[in-house]
Structure 1
Amino acid sequence: MGKQNISDDDIQQATCAVLNDKGEPVGTAWLVSSEGHLLTAGHLLGTAEPKKEIYVQFLGEAPCLANRVSWGYQKEMGIDYAVLKLDFQSEQYRFLPIQLIESASSNLGEFRLYGFGISLKYMCACKGHFIGNYERLNCHRVFRFRSEDADERGYSGSAIFSDKLQAVVALQIQAIPAEGTVFGMPLYRIADLWKPLQDISEGNAVKLNPQKRGLYIIQLGNVIKTKNYENAVYRMAFAIICNLAGEKKAEEVRPIFTPYLENSYSREVNKKERILNDFFGQHYKVHNLIQEVCNNHNGIFICISELNVITKHRGWFKRFQEDFILFFTDRFRINFCFDSSYFIHYDDKEHFQNRMR
């Protein structure tokens, strides 16, 4: 899509409402590719365990399903995005042009966006001007804007369109109505987390092979020689990363895992706490490594083989399902099966200790 004057109608036709389970608008998404990809704010899908699919609604159309492709949310780091894929061909809609600029200033002039939401009965416009960069935690950049229209809820996820550049440069993630301040996550940061956005910005089709599927058989028999439940979960998670991303890339994140892989590692864990969810939320480099592999496959199927667990805790396998299997299934849409694996429970503490040696 070449550079041209983009009208309000162009932005409106590419913009849709994000709906909650009651069919009510709670935010905004917009079309970013000819393949039907949408960008929106990650918190609209959830801040811990995002929805796998969600309904969106274009102007004058019935609600339609969109599937989650990529997602990230870490407010203090200015990460709040989701990539969705429409469940139908979208030739009737024109996607919006984007630019991956890394810095914003008042010289960029005015912006405009359109959005839906809880307090917006119809699509509404928001206009204002660029202020500049805002650094969160000293190194995580978001763009800052000023607008008198920012008091409406529901612009989250909207495309922040630069009139000067004639392109979208960020998506709205937060507004402070009392100050008339809007914060947007720069698209260049989303491109770091979801690589196909770089191709889109260069006018290329998304480089994904829909026929490519991944089958990984992972033997964990020698991985979990530990009495520590948490330690076992982290060791298995790292083993999966080594198999999915390859040993070379896995070595890049090994320092992050090292404290958790030691036999001595231990801390009190709430039984309802999903420990990997907490870990991956803090370490986005690990999250993005797996996400990149998953984005390049139409499906990943992991067969865990030779997993033998001897435990004195009766709830081990149930916790393992919640902490480990459901985590990778919900977050990365990875499927699992088990082959030649055993979970053995011993009531006798001394017998348990002898076997684990």
Structure 2
Amino acid sequence: MNEMPPKFKRRNISSNIITIVICCILSGIIGFVSAKIAYSGSDSNGVNIIQQKVNSNSDVEIEDVSDIAAKCGPSVVEITTESVSSGNSFYGQYISTGAGSGVIISEDGYIVTNNHVIENANRITVKTGEGNEYEAQLIGTDSQTDIAVIKIDAKDLVKATFGDSSNLEVGNIVIAIGNPLGELGGTVTTGIISALERQITVENEQMTLLQTDAAINPGNSGGGLFDENGNLIGIVNAKESSTGVEGLGFAIPINTVTEIIDELIENGSVTSRPVLGVSLYDVSSSSQYYRQSEYEEGVYIVQIVEGGAADKAGLEQNDRIVSFDGQNVSTSAEVKSILRKHKIGDKVEIVVNRNGKEITKEVVLQQSNQ
């Protein structure tokens, strides 16, 4: 059964006393929030991140989210993409289109969105809440966290105020703003934080996400998830779309996003993360490859980067990884999850099965050259 959305009580004007009490409480809350605002510095690229050091207060019942929507709405944009593909079309090349959302993070046009929104796009167009359209430049992408940064040539834009996702609690009220279905830009939906630190596998990447019951639809990806104070606390990136399942939306915690943004702007990719230098493939009993071969279930090395960490350690194509850093693994997501806990230069023991024999190798993790 779906969780019920937060109930917004109607204002009761039958009692002047109640009205006065409510006003006093709200005045106190506003004063408390104002006193807690803190400003963080700017980086060399001019992207200033204003972060509210406010603990989310789940005891606050919001009657009307119009003020919050008015504050946050202008910082959320619509994104449309065009991709040119060759494929096997009789007519040669063809153009496919896509749509998503993004959040403005600087007054001069830097925008954060999902990697999967702009992936393989030949053209990216941004439409602001005021209706202005711009062609966007791709600045950087990171498929592992599903984060990308694009930029438009504009000034005096309304940027989002970053919150602190580490202060969130289950039951906190949230507001999602995005472009559902790719044609309903500026749509506002409300809900609560249903769970924290959900381990979800998306495109073979294990991610730690916020779960919400705010309505999330295709096109919302890359949009903002805001708290009841109007602070950006997540970037929407996934919805559970199984038959009969509703009320399961997910967002990347904003604290994770801020760790990635600076590197993407400076380098175009995340270079501080260690890599094995391999491509992995999962073989399971449900996969067609498994049924048509004699390969056991597990995670296999299908490609090795020449001169990379795996190559130098003596790993080979078709090796099945049995354990990584002392932990048994059977999927690529498990390998990547363990890898994230390490740093460049770490030595990691890896056990592989090669032609029926287990072989132990030591891998020195290298910097990503992505």
Which residue identity lines up with residue 169 of structure 1 in the other structure?
A: I
1:225 matched residue in structure 2 = none
8 Å CA contact 1:25–1:116 kept in 2: the answer is no
Which residue identity lines up with residue 150 of structure 2 in the other structure?
A: L
Separation in structure 2 between the aligned mates of residue 264 and residue 110 of structure 1, nearest angstrom: 49
Do structure 1's residue 234 and structure 2's residue 306 form an aligned pair? yes
Separation in structure 1 between the aligned mates of residue 98 and residue 318 of structure 2, nearest angstrom: 41
1:69-112 deviations in Å (ceiling 9; x for gaps): 222224xxxx22211122x1321x210100242363225x2111
1:18 matched residue in structure 2 = 79
Secondary structure, counterpart of 1:194 in structure 2: helix
Separation in structure 2 between the aligned mates of residue 51 and residue 283 of structure 1, nearest angstrom: 26
Separation in structure 2 between the aligned mates of residue 264 and residue 161 of structure 1, nearest angstrom: 45
Separation in structure 2 between the aligned mates of residue 161 and residue 23 of structure 1, nearest angstrom: 31
2:141 matched residue in structure 1 = 71
Which residue identity lines up with residue 174 of structure 2 in the other structure?
A: F
Separation in structure 1 between the aligned mates of residue 81 and residue 163 of structure 2, nearest angstrom: 30
8 Å CA contact 2:197–2:210 kept in 1: the answer is yes
Which residue identity lines up with residue 80 of structure 2 in the other structure?
A: L
Separation in structure 2 between the aligned mates of residue 289 and residue 36 of structure 1, nearest angstrom: 33
Query: Residue 98 of structure 1 is aligned with which of 162, 169, 177?
Result: 162
Displacement, 1:187? 1.5
Query: Residue 179 of structure 2 is aligned with which of 116, 123, 129?
Result: 116
Separation in structure 1 between the aligned mates of residue 143 and residue 51 of structure 2, nearest angstrom: 32
1:126-157 deviations in Å (ceiling 9; x for gaps): 1111122133279842111112x33x321111
2:150 matched residue in structure 1 = 84
1:208-233 deviations in Å (ceiling 9; x for gaps): 69xxxxxxxxxxxxxxxxxxxx76x5
Separation in structure 2 between the aligned mates of residue 33 and residue 289 of structure 1, nearest angstrom: 30
Identity in percent: 12
TM-align CA RMSD: 4.2
Which residue identity lines up with residue 168 of structure 2 in the other structure?
A: A
Unaligned regions of 5+ residues in structure 1, if any? 198-205, 210-229, 239-256, 269-278, 291-326, 333-357
Displacement, 1:117? 3.9
Larger % of strand: which?
2
Query: Residue 168 of structure 1 is aligned with which of 232, 238, 242?
Result: 232
Separation in structure 2 between the aligned mates of residue 23 and residue 121 of structure 1, nearest angstrom: 20
Unaligned regions of 5+ residues in structure 2, if any? 1-49, 55-64, 83-94, 268-302, 320-331, 345-367
2:246 matched residue in structure 1 = 179
Separation in structure 1 between the aligned mates of residue 158 and residue 114 of structure 2, nearest angstrom: 20
Separation in structure 2 between the aligned mates of residue 23 and residue 95 of structure 1, nearest angstrom: 30
Separation in structure 2 between the aligned mates of residue 69 and residue 2 of structure 1, nearest angstrom: 23
Displacement, 1:182? 1.1
Using structure 2 for the length normalisation, give the TM-score. 0.49
Displacement, 1:168? 0.4
Secondary structure, counterpart of 1:99 in structure 2: coil
Separation in structure 1 between the aligned mates of residue 191 and residue 114 of structure 2, nearest angstrom: 20
Query: Residue 126 of structure 2 is aligned with which of 25, 36, 56?
Result: 56
Separation in structure 2 between the aligned mates of residue 101 and residue 41 of structure 1, nearest angstrom: 18
Separation in structure 1 between the aligned mates of residue 343 and residue 262 of structure 2, nearest angstrom: 11
Separation in structure 1 between the aligned mates of residue 256 and residue 238 of structure 2, nearest angstrom: 16
- What are the within-5 Å matches in structure 2 for residues 215-226 of structure 1? none
8 Å CA contact 1:14–1:95 kept in 2: the answer is yes
* Distance change in 2, residues 1:183/1:2 (3 Å): closer
- What are the within-5 Å matches in structure 2 for residues 29-44 of structure 1? 29-44=102-117
* Distance change in 2, residues 1:83/1:100 (3 Å): farther
Separation in structure 2 between the aligned mates of residue 146 and residue 121 of structure 1, nearest angstrom: 19
* Distance change in 2, residues 1:121/1:161 (3 Å): closer
8 Å CA contact 2:112–2:222 kept in 1: the answer is yes
* Distance change in 2, residues 1:179/1:9 (3 Å): same
* Distance change in 2, residues 1:195/1:102 (3 Å): farther
8 Å CA contact 1:25–1:117 kept in 2: the answer is no
8 Å CA contact 1:32–1:38 kept in 2: the answer is yes
Separation in structure 2 between the aligned mates of residue 175 and residue 67 of structure 1, nearest angstrom: 27
Separation in structure 2 between the aligned mates of residue 11 and residue 58 of structure 1, nearest angstrom: 12
Separation in structure 1 between the aligned mates of residue 343 and residue 121 of structure 2, nearest angstrom: 20
Larger % of helix: which?
1
Query: Residue 133 of structure 1 is aligned with which of 193, 196, 200?
Result: 196
